[in-house]
């Protein structure tokens, strides 16, 4: 979200250009117009706040291709790990996971909840080249204390294709600095945002 000082600076630049243009054209300068400066900053800032938090995700606004797709809410899906247990030669079964997305027009944060850990994004973005839209983010995974002996904390990255406008499905891959990777798919969504795995289960069940 643009900060108020930035809005003030932009308004000041606009005013300076207006004054310079008026002076260069030989027209009379009326500095009484300065009383509208604070109003202009207030209106501009209020408009940006409204856009960043609400207007961009209205259904009619989401039809505009240059507007980021609205992914806000809690998604339920599956995680399919490609890791192979050296003792058994088998990969783990698919597990149910939840993706909690908090999003504005200019920022996004993602939390992946599993029955053993949570992954919190450090940086992320929604991109759309008018052919493929995707959610890409880097994260830090923190396992529950009871499984730390076999699953240590690690960093990773995820790239999910966004299907539909409005979005109806997310699918893609993740990979970690433990040299593991896998696939993720999310097909169910609730607009509420939860804090933990049990709350996510209750939200869908």
**Nearest by Cα to 137 from 155, 124, 151, 128:** 124
Closest by Cα among 74, 109, 80 to 196: 74
Residue 186 predicted with pLDDT over 70 = yes
Q: What is the pLDDT of residue 65?
A: 84
Within the chain, strands assigned E span 73-81, 95-103, 108-113, 117-128, 133-143, 154-163, 169-176, 181-190
Q: Residues 6 or more apart from 45 whose CB is under 8 A from it?
A: 4, 7
Q: What is the largest CA-CA distance in the chain?
A: 86
Q: What domains does the chain contain, in order, with CATH numbers?
A: 4-53 (no CATH), 73-204 (2.40.128)
What is the pTM for the complete model shown? Answer: 0.83
- Overall average pLDDT of the 127-150 stretch: 87
More confident residue, 136 or 48: 136
> What is the average per-residue pLDDT within 138-144?
93
Q: Which two tokens stand for residue 199?
A: 């709350």
Give the burial class of 74: count Cβ atoms within 10 A of its Cβ; 0-12 exposed, 13-18 middle, 19 or more buried.
buried
Q: What pLDDT shows up at residue 33?
A: 61
Q: What pLDDT sits at residue 25? A: 72
Radius of gyration of the chain (CA): 23
Distance CA 122, CA 111 (A): 10
Interval 24-50: pLDDT, tens: 777 666 666 666 666 667 777 788 888
Query: Residue 113 in contact with residue 100, Cβ under 8 Å?
Result: yes
Given a cut of 70, whether residue 8 has pLDDT beyond it is no
pLDDT at position 139 is: 97
């Amino acid at each position: 979200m643009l900060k108020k000082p930035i809005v003030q600076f932009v308004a000041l630049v606009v005013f300076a250009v207006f004054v310079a243009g008026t002076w260069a054209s030989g027209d009379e300068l009326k500095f009484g117009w300065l009383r509208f400066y604070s109003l202009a900053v207030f209106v501009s800032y209020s408009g940006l706040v409204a856009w960043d938090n609400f207007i961009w995700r209205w259904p009619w606004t989401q039809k505009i291709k240059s507007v980021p797709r609205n992914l806000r809410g809690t998604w339920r899906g599956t995680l399919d790990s490609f890791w192979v247990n050296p003792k058994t030669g088998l990969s783990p079964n698919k597990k149910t996971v939840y993706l909690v997305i908090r999003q504005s027009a200019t920022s996004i944060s993602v939390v992946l909840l599993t029955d053993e850990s949570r992954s919190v994004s450090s940086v992320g973005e929604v991109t759309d080249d008018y052919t493929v839209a995707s959610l890409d983010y880097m994260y830090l995974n923190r396992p529950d204390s009871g499984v730390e002996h076999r699953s240590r904390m690690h960093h990773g990255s995820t790239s999910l294709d966004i299907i539909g406008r409005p979005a109806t499905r997310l699918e893609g891959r993740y990979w970690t600095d433990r040299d593991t990777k896998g696939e993720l798919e999310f097909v169910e969504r609730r607009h509420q945002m939860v804090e933990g795995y049990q709350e996510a289960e209750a939200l869908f069940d």
